[in-house]
Amino acid sequence: MDFEVITNSPEETIELGKKIGSQLKGGEVIALVGNLGAGKTHLIKGIASSMQGDDGYEDGVSSPTFVLVNEYLGGRLDLYHIDAYRLDSPRDFELLGFDDLCYEDSVVLIEWADKVEQSLKGVEPLRLELYHESQSQRRIVLRSTGDYIKI
């Protein structure tokens, strides 16, 4: 099932992330796709905040552009945030140890997932597509949400 949502500010995008995060059960891989500034990191901030059970937690979440993977452990589920923007090939993604991050009590979030889609075959990720609608509005399309994520 697919859902489409319009957010009108970064704060609304973070709140949407919290709604999504609160419904995750573990074992999910989430592929985030969108241009620079589309709101991927804000959505992840909300998801991470929900996982940690801390409304202020999103302030400590940033895009792992240079380290490639940020780990947020010790919450309801382990959360791994991968940024594929700087990866040159799907092989580079595999060398990050992606398979080791996928387990029953974890959620793996992949920014710029379109760059590594070859490596995600057989995983069936939840796909979140983010689009600029205006300077402050974002259109967020959730694809392949299964039966349990409701927005």
Rounded to whole angstroms, the Cα distance separating 92 from 101 reads 15
CA angle in degrees (0–180, nearest 5) for 130-131-137? 105
Instruction: Dig out the tokens for 80 from the structure.
Output: 């791994």
Q: What is the pLDDT of residue 78?
A: 92
Tell the CATH superfamily of the 3-140 domain: P-loop containing nucleotide triphosphate hydrolases (3.40.50.300)
Instruction: Give the model's confidence band at 63: pLDDT under 50 very low, under 70 low, under 90 confident, else very high.
Output: low
Q: Is the pLDDT of residue 149 over 80?
A: no
Stated pTM of the model = 0.86
Q: Where are the domains of the chain?
A: 3-140
Q: From 83, 67, 74, 72, select the one nearest 47 (Cα to Cα).
A: 72
Residue whose entry in the numeric block shows the structure tokens 């909300």: 46
The model's confidence at residue 108, banded by pLDDT at 50, 70 and 90, is: very high
- The answer on pLDDT for 123 being more than 80 is yes
CA-to-CA distance for 40 and 53, rounded, in angstroms?
A: 20
Most confident of 60-64, 89-93, 127-131, 143-147: 127-131
- Is residue 137 over pLDDT 80? yes
Task: Give the H or E element holding residue 20.
Answer: helix 10-23
Give the pLDDT of residue 4.
92
The closest of 117, 126, 121 to 145, measured between CA atoms, is: 126
Distance CA 109, CA 132 (A): 20
